[in-house]
Amino acid sequence: MKIPGAVVIVTGGSRGLGRAFSVELLKRGARVCVADINETEGRQTEAELQRQYGADKAFFVKCDVTKEDDTKDLWRVAVERFTTVDLMVNNAGIMNETLVEETVQINLMGAMRGSMLAFEHMRRDRGGKGGVIINVASTAGLFPVFFMPTYVASKYALVGFTRSWASNPCQARFGVNWAVLCPAFADTSMLSVALDGPDPPLVTYQENKEQVIATVKTIGINSVDDVSRAFVELVEKDDNNGAVVTVEKNMGGAVYRFVKNPNCL
Ligand SMILES: NC(=O)c1ccc[n+]([C@@H]2O[C@H](COP(=O)([O-])OP(=O)(O)OC[C@H]3O[C@@H](n4cnc5c(N)ncnc54)[C@H](O)[C@@H]3O)[C@@H](O)[C@H]2O)c1
Ligand SMILES: CC[C@@H](O)/C=C/C=C\C[C@@H](O)/C=C/C=C/C=C\[C@@H](O)CCCC(=O)O
C-alpha cells in the first residue's frame, strides 16, 4: 500500500517496535493512532510525535487490547478523528512465561480482536475501502523455542490465524490483505528485561542458561531499525497478502515468504 496519506492504528505503540513503526509511517506521510495500555509512555510518545510531525498527524489512545470495550473505543476514536483506517498493526505483546493467561490474552486474543475490528471496518463487500492488517508475531511463531513455550504458542496461533484469513478464497472480494511480521530477537525492552534480569521470566532458564544465551547469540539480535525496515517494505508491497516476513540478524535479515497456499511456507 501507499503510505503517504494512509491512516494507521498501531497497538503497543508507546515504545519499542510499535513506536518505531509509527515513526517510519509518519516520516512517510501517514497519520498514526498510537494505542497502548501504558498511558505515561503513550502521552510522552504522542507529544514527541506531534512535535516532530504535527498535531494533526499523530495521537494516543489508551487501550488495553485484552478489553473488547477498549478496542472498540480505540476504533471509534480513530475513525472519528481520521474518518477511515487503512492499516491496522497489531503489535502489542508481552514475553513473560510466568503470565500464561495474560500472554495468550494480549499476544493472541488482543491481536485477533484488533484484526476482526479492522476487517469489519475495511472489507469492501460491506462498504469499506479495503486495507491491510499486519500482525506482529515472531520467529518464535514459526519455530519452537524451549524457554518460552507459552509465548511460542501465542505467536504460532497468531501466525495461523493471519495466514488462514490471507488464504480465504473470498480475500480479493473483501479487499483486505493480511500479513504477519516475524522478527527474531530485537533490541527493545522486551529483550533486555528478559535477558538482563537476575531471573528472566523463562522456562527452565536456571537449568539451561547457557543454551538460552547460545540461542540468542546464534540467531543474533536485530536492531529496531532492522525490524522497522522490514516492516516498511512489507507495508509498501502491494501484493503483501499472505506474506510471512522473518527478520533474523545472523540469518541474512529479512526474508519474505508469500503464503498463497496455506499448506506451504
Ligand atoms: N523484542 C523482541 O525481541 C521481539 C521479537 C519478535 C517479536 N516481538 C514482538 O514485537 C511486538 C513489540 O514488542 P517490543 O519488543 O516492542 O516490546 P515492548 O515491551 O518494548 O513494547 C510492547 C508494547 O506493548 C504494550 N502492551 C503490553 N500489553 C498491552 C496491552 N494489554 N494492551 C495494549 N498495549 C500493551 C506495552 O505497553 C509496550 O508499549 C510484540 O508483539 C513482541 O512479541 C518482539
Ligand atoms: C532470551 C530471552 C527471550 O525470552 C527473549 C525474547 C524476546 C523477544 C521475543 C521473541 O519474539 C523472540 C523470539 C526469537 C526466537 C529466536 C529463535 C527461534 O525463532 C528459533 C529460530 C530457528 C531458526 O530460525 O531456524
Structural contact between residues 67 and 73, judged by C-beta atoms closer than 8 angstroms: no
Kindly provide the ipTM of the predicted complex, given to two decimals: 0.93
Residue 103, ligand 2, Cβ within 6 A: no
Catalytic residue among 151, 156, 205, 256: 151
Give the per-residue pLDDT at 255: 76
pTM: 0.95
| pLDDT per position as a tens digit, 196-221 | 877 899 999 999 999 999 999 999 99
Report the separation in Å between the CA atom of 171 and the middle of ligand 1, taken as the mean of its atom positions: 28
Residue 158, ligand 2, Cβ within 6 A: no
Report the atom number in ligand 1 closest to the C-alpha of 193: 19
Question: Where residue 144 falls among pLDDT bands split at 50, 70, 90?
Answer: very high
Lowest-confidence range among 49-58, 180-189, 226-235, 248-257?
248-257
Structural contact between residues 254 and 233, judged by C-beta atoms closer than 8 angstroms: yes
Instruction: Write out the three cell numbers for 260.
Output: 498463497
The span from the CA of 161 to the CA of 143, in Å, is 16
Give the per-residue pLDDT at 264: 45
53 is catalytic: no
| pLDDT per position as a tens digit, 57-112 | 999 999 999 999 999 999 999 999 999 999 999 999 999 999 999 999 999 999 99
Report the b/e string of 220-235 with b at 16+ CB within 10 A.
Answer: ebbebebbbbbbbebb
Domains of the chain: 7-257 (3.40.50.720)
Structural contact between residues 120 and 74, judged by C-beta atoms closer than 8 angstroms: no
Structural contact between residues 224 and 188, judged by C-beta atoms closer than 8 angstroms: yes
Report the atom number in ligand 1 closest to the C-alpha of 38: 37
The span from the CA of 129 to the CA of 145, in Å, is 39
150 has a pLDDT exceeding 70: yes
Q: If you take atom 19 of ligand 1, which residue's CA is the nearest one?
A: 190
Give the per-residue pLDDT at 249: 87
Give the per-residue pLDDT at 155: 98
The span from the CA of 183 to the CA of 231, in Å, is 10
